[in-house]
Structure 1
């Protein structure tokens, strides 16, 4: 079926005229792309390009993956021919573009805007600053500094393939830095036993290769790292360096295939740790590891039927000004740790009653009562830091009111949730 996908692209470049549309037609008729500026009335918002791709897919449900592949081709060639950056900002819609009457209803998949904000994880504390000061007492060699930089870039990279590559760069740097100077035996490519030269009556030796140095580093960093894991990481590295992607080789990787990034990232972290003197790790240092290095995003997709207008040139007008799909967070933004307060059953019942009363406090009280649990005859409620700041301010300023009086009864039970 014929489809059209509507993408927004972040770029350093713009089309020379706001009214101009650039058309890129694939010579093999795989796709047709239309590029235009999205004019801005407020310059505090980032500039974006509109990129529409017309293509064929087996069905609308699996068209997103096909559209992403064609988008990658367009962005790659745009970057190659201009030397500027082009990256996907978001996908907005994919529309069934099969020929039909002008006012026919069409199937549309609409993606929501990203959630308004994403709260950070409250984690940094004075103990982490003390840990950094302690580690900086060690004169970190330049090679390890470079490895730490690639580790940081790998954590921050948004594309899983890039994350693996950056982590591997760091691993190679550390391995080369601490590569032993003692020579090792040449090994049989089949059984891996030491080769023997009958004429010389000796085992040929050489300085460790990079691959052998990496293997030794991984084994030293984690006792649980075995030959199978080393082979998995090495094969993944070879595939990526020869042009394949994690998605293309997912059949040879654990499920989910992105988990190979976490495996490498955790081993790299351990390899970096052992570059510091052992005596530093006297149980006074506080360090953290993420549950996953991969950056996942939440989105919502609505399947609707609507009339899609056609412009004067016969192309679909994908503005959809009458339809808005949003992801709304359940609470205002917060950056500090939340609190827990303890209430009696009578106090909790009053809280539930008050949250039905109209006023600025209504949403806050609804959040608090929704996040309450009964235990041992009391109710324990989660209060986000933003709400706790409002409550403290109201009480400290002597505000009068039922909900203020209620919180005065048990505010002294508030404890930071660690």
Structure 2
């Protein structure tokens, strides 16, 4: 079956004319790609290229992976031939492009726009700055500074493959830095016992190889790290360095295969922590590690049937004007911690009533009503920081109204929720 996928691509370069369409035709006829600019009316938005990829697949459900592979081929060659950056921004649709005259309706798999914004996790506090000041009392060696840089790059990297690679760079730097000067025996590749030279009547020795130093570092960083874990990390590193991807070797990795990144990241963090004087970790330092290093993104996908127009050149017009699929955030952007307010059952009934009335703050009242819990014989409502700021502002201004009067009754019970 024939399909067409609609991608948006972030790039440092653009097509020389907004109306111009560039075409890449695979010599083996595996795919065809059409590239054009997406003109911007607001220049605060990032510039994007539109890339439509025509290809064959067995079914719509199986077309996603094929589309991603063909897009990667196009972007790799674009980067190779131009020396410029190309990065997938998002996929919009995959449309059944099979020639047919029976019906104008076509099957479409449609992805929503990304959620309007991602709120940060309220986490930083005075304890963290004090911890940093305490750690900086130690004169950090240049090698460990470089390793810390790669750890930071690994946390921030959007691709799981890049995250693993950057974490491994940091691990190698630390391992080389603390590699012992004492020599070790050469080992038999089968039984791992020390090799013996009959002519010299001795066990050949050498300084630890990089692989041996890394294994020793992993074992020292965490007592629970065993030979199987070290072998898994080393095998993953070898596969990535020889051109494979985590997706390609996922059959040999734990499920989910991204968990290997968390394993390496946590071991690396422990190895880095051990480079600081032990006496610094007296219980006064406040440090954190994420529940996962992998950056997961939520999106919504719909399977619909609709009419897809065709332009004068016979290509599908995938603008889908008038049809919007979007993920709406729970509330306005926030960066601070939420608060909890305590109220009576009568006050809760009044809040419910007000949340159904039309008004400027109906959405805010609805958000608060949806986050009500009963605990210890009391009724608590969670109020996000942006809404709490609006409530405080209205009360401080002396605004008159039913919802303002309601919150005046229990605003003094508000406590920040950690």
Q: Report if TM-score (shorter chain) is over 0.5.
A: yes
1:114 corresponding residue in structure 2? 114
Q: Deviation per CA, 1:255-311: give whole Å up to 9, x if none.
A: 000000000000000000000011111111101000000011111111111111111
Deviation at 1:103, TM superposition (A): 6.4
- Which whole-Å deviations, capped at 9, do the CAs of 1:188-214 have from their partners, x for residues lacking one? 100111111222222111110000000
SS in 2 for 1:46: coil
Unaligned regions of 5+ residues in structure 1, if any?
none
User: How is 1:19-418 mapped onto 2 (pairs within 5 angstroms)?
Assistant: 19-101=19-101, 104-418=104-418
Q: Distance in 2 between matches of 1:41 and 1:399?
A: 39
Matched ranges for 1:13-24 at <5 A: 13-24=13-24
Secondary structure of the residue that 1:254 maps to in structure 2? coil
After the TM superposition, which of the residue ranges 265-274 and 388-397 deviates more from structure 2?
388-397
SS of 2:239's partner is helix
Q: 1:344–1:377: 8 Å Cα contact kept in structure 2? A: no
State the TM-score, normalizing by the size of structure 2. Answer: 0.99
CA distance in 1, matches of 2:311, 2:237: 48
Deviations 1:50-74 (A, max 9, x none): 1000000111112111100000000
How many residue pairs are counted as aligned between the two chains? 418
How far apart in 1 are the matches of 2:358 and 2:47? 40
Q: Tell me the distance in 2 between the aligned counterparts of 1:259 and 1:347.
A: 47
Asked if the contact 1:10–1:87 (Cα under 8 Å) also holds between the matched residues in 2, the reply is: yes
Alignment deviations for residues 75-98 of structure 1 (CA, whole Å, 9 cap, x no partner): 000000000000001111100000
RMSD over equivalenced CA pairs, Å: 1.0
Please list every run of 5 or more consecutive structure 2 residues that lacks an aligned counterpart in the other structure. none
Q: Hey, which bits of structure 1, 4+ residues long, moved more than 4 A?
A: none
Deviates more, 1:298-307 or 1:93-102: 93-102
